[in-house]
Structure 1
Amino acid sequence: MPAPERAPGATVVVATRDRAADLRVTLPRHAAEVVVVDNGSTDDTPAVLAAEAARRRAAGEPGLRTLRPGQNLGATARNLGVAAARTEVVAFADDDSWWAPGSLQRAEQLFAEHPRLAVLAARTLVGPAEELDPVCLDMASAPWGRAPDLPGPHVTGFVACATVVRRDAFLATGGFDRVVHFGGEEERVTYDLLAAGWGLAYVDDVVAHHHPSPSRGTAQQRRELLQRNALLTAWMRRPLRVAARSTVGSFLAGGEARRGALAAVPRVPAALRQRRGTSPVVEERLAVRG
């Protein structure tokens, strides 16, 4: 059965929770239709969303739709937004990020020209100084090479708030998962897309702005969370010997690594229930970095 026709253009999907102040700044900067998934906010977020939707209607701008799952779904809230999108091209944004003018039109063109492209990782400018995110320098250096049927260097990972995806390819992977919940949630999706033969590429002329919210957790909390989720992803997709070695190594390392491993342990059974066979393509890519 042929795939259903999708509307032209792009949709921006934003998952948010208790960041009304950030949304007041970023939502008016999205030039495309926006689907916001509210992860159970208890601040003024509903009022901000209603006001922005009304402003867009009055101005004749692309609309804003709100989904309210009634609980904090973490990164998996984005799955609801992608499923609700009427376009094949979907751009993620956080409540503290937005897309540069013209970037989504450029992304739509590239997805049309490159049918194997599933993920477009954009150039990301961070903070009021608009400094280039160091991860962009790494991706642009093409450590994993290039393919003639993709618009830029291969990537083996992406930052969700600066990424555009092909809707159906993303949903075919199951989207983000409840095991990881939030933090490093992109890793497992990357592995599944690569295993299925999709392309992921860095494109320098598609640009996202990210001004990290002041209402974020500490850097230490973030590192511990990323450690936990990297281990859980390993148990879901990497060879068992790799997952076991990484977990033991984290315990032995102590400090943040050990705390991340301790946090991972209760979730390992759920990770194993989501486990699939390992992918040679993924393991070859990861071997490049050792």
Structure 2
Amino acid sequence: MNASAHASGSPSAPRVTVVVLTRNHVRQVVDTVARLTALPEQPDVIVADNGSTDSTVSLLASLFPQVRIVQSLGDRGMAGFNRAVLLARTEYVACCDDGTWFAPGALARAAKLLDAHAQVAVLNARVVGGDEREIHPACLMLAATSPGADNPAGPVLANFMAGACIFRASVFRALGGYEARLSHGGAEELAALDLLAAGHQIAYCEQALAHREPLYHWFTRAQHCARARNAAWVAWMRLPMRDALAATGRALAVFARQRSLGPAGVALLRGAFWTWRRRRVVPPHVVLLTRQVRRAERHVRAGIPAMAEKYDRSGQRAW
């Protein structure tokens, strides 16, 4: 693990730490870290390595001695963020994957917004392609299905993109980070429900610009099933019975479309006891927000099928 070059408490100490999640994408993560370390905000950068078996760790350590590297023994998915965020010394933490980087000035603008709006715990960045001409469909969907009136920080959201957000570090730690069993889909949805239940807000921040290459991600059959299963598990853990049953029905429909009804259904059932032991239904106002979002999402999918198709393929959420 490499020590950060910034001294805590010094006049030039950064406001934001960027945590980059990676696994076996050595060329991609080197390019991303190079972009992040060149930002005018001079953020601390921590790489959360999910058990890479290529030259990721050694090459990063050689090229960027100022970057801290947190290694996991295996692929922990989004739970790989957890230990890295614990090590951050700044008030705010920006999370991204190894194909996403923040634009110059984006982190400074995000920090100012969070400074001014104590009720906002998470800002979802606006994610665009490398040439900035196309916005990530998940961002379009989140903004289009905002369940409430805008606040000064941006449209209020009921969820966020784990790979393109800026957190209050203290709130992330209070949540206990991302649930490891949901680390390959659904962990951010559970975190969002718990944030909202605790009285925090999530906002979509146009001013926090992030780039992503490639913009879209196509999932395998197993990944589609895992995300649908995890969404059902989250519903059983946090939502009323009506919503949990509906999420289970959606998961079974995905399993059937992916021709994995038997194996995926068994996997869903195996988690029943685990989810039931963790069941803690969120307050009514949070349930109402989630239902509003789902209705809005159905409307968007019906009205703009091309965007909905790209959103489904982007892998940001499996509702």
C-alpha offsets along residues 176-224 of structure 1, whole Å, 9 cap, x if unaligned? 102212223210000000000001101111101111399x774544322
Q: Does 1:111 align with 2:142?
A: no
Please tell me whether residue 271 in structure 1 is matched to residue 275 in structure 2: yes
Q: CA deviation at 1:136?
A: 2.3
Q: Structure 2: any 5+ residue segments left out of the alignment?
A: 1-8, 296-319
Q: Which moved more, 1:125-134 or 1:12-21?
A: 125-134
CA, structure 1 residues 286+274, in 2 after alignment: closer, same or farther (shift >3 Å)? same
**2: CA distance, partners of 1:168 / 1:67:** 19
Checking the alignment, whether the CA contact within 8 Å between 1:97 and 1:209 is kept in structure 2 is yes
Name the structure 1 match of 2:18.
12
Work out which of the residue numbers 36, 57, 60 in structure 2 matches 1:49: 60
SS at match of 1:205: strand
CA contact (8 A) 2:231 2:247 kept: no
Q: CA deviation at 1:270?
A: 2.2
Residues 29-81 of structure 1 deviation map (CA, whole Å, 9 limit, x = unaligned): 11321111111111111122212323xxxxxxxx3101123232221110111
1:90 match: 93
Measure, in 2, the Cα distance between the counterparts of 1:112 and 1:142: 26
Rounded to whole Å, the distance in 1 between the matches of 2:223 and 2:139 is 20
Within the alignment, does 1:138 sit opposite 2:138 as a pair?
no
For residue 286 of structure 1, report the CA deviation from its aligned partner: 1.5
Give how far 1:156 is off.
0.8
The yes-or-no answer on 1:29 pairing with 2:41 is no
Match of 2:227 in 1: 226
Contact 1:52–1:64 (8 Å) recurs in 2? no
Q: Contact 2:20/2:45 (CA < 8 Å) preserved in 1?
A: yes
Which string of whole-angstrom CA distances, capped at 9 and with x for unpartnered residues, describes residues 74-125 of structure 1?
2111011111100011000101110011100111111111111101011110
Where does structure 1 lack aligned partners over 5 or more consecutive residues?
55-62
The residue number in structure 1 matching 2:238 is 237
**RMSD after superposition:** 2.5
Match of 1:58 in 2: none
Distance 1:252 1:134 in 2: 23
The secondary structure found in structure 1 opposite 2:91 is strand
SS at match of 2:163: helix
Q: 1:104 touches 1:206 (CA, 8 Å); kept in 2?
A: yes
Q: Distance in 1 between matches of 2:125 and 2:168?
A: 14
Residues 1:267 and 1:217: Cα distance change in structure 2 (over 3 Å)? farther
Distance 2:132 2:281 in 1: 44
Q: Size of the alignment, in residue pairs?
A: 276
Is 1:64 paired with 2:67?
A: yes
Structure 2 Cα separation of the partners of residues 136 and 81 of structure 1: 25
Greater CA deviation, 157-166 or 135-144?
A: 135-144
Shift of residue 244, structure 1, vs aligned partner: 3.1
Query: Kindly tell me: are residues 159 and 94 of structure 1, through their superposed partners in 2, closer, same or farther at Cα, counting changes over 3 Å?
Result: same
Specify the code of the residue in structure 1 equivalent to 2:137. P
Q: 1:127 to 1:271 in 2, by over 3 A?
A: farther
Q: What is the distance in 2 between the residues matched to 1:53 and 1:260? A: 42
Question: How far apart, CA to CA, are the structure 1 residues paired with 2:60 and 2:111?
Answer: 26
**Residues in 2 aligned to 1:250 and 1:135: alpha-carbon distance in whole angstroms:** 20
8 Å CA contact retained: 1:120, 1:200: yes
Give the Cα–Cα distance (whole angstroms) in 1 for the partners of residues 111 and 215 of structure 2.
28
Q: Quick one: distance in 2 between partners of 1:167 and 1:76?
A: 15
**Is the alpha carbon distance of 1:131 and 1:284 closer, same or farther for their aligned partners in structure 2, counting shifts above 3 Å?**
same
- Give the residue type in structure 2 aligned to 1:35: I
Contact between 1:130 and 1:209, CA under 8 Å: does it hold in 2?
Answer: no
Whether the aligned pair in 1 keeps the contact of 2:96 and 2:164 (CA below 8 Å) is yes
Moved more, 43-52 or 102-111: 43-52
The separation in 2 between residues aligned to 1:261 and 1:116, in whole angstroms, is 39
Aligned equivalents of 2:172, 2:275: Cα separation in 1: 20
- Going from structure 1 to structure 2, the CA distance change for 1:52 and 1:263 (only over 3 Å counts) comes to farther
Question: More deviation in 9-18 or 190-199?
Answer: 9-18
Percent identity over paired residues: 35
Give the CA deviation at 1:127. 5.4
Cα distance in structure 2, aligned partners of 1:142 and 1:244: 22
- Secondary structure at the aligned position of 2:167 is classed as strand
Determine the C-alpha separation between the residues in 2 that align with 1:217 and 1:48: 28
CA contact (8 A) 2:122 2:203 kept: yes
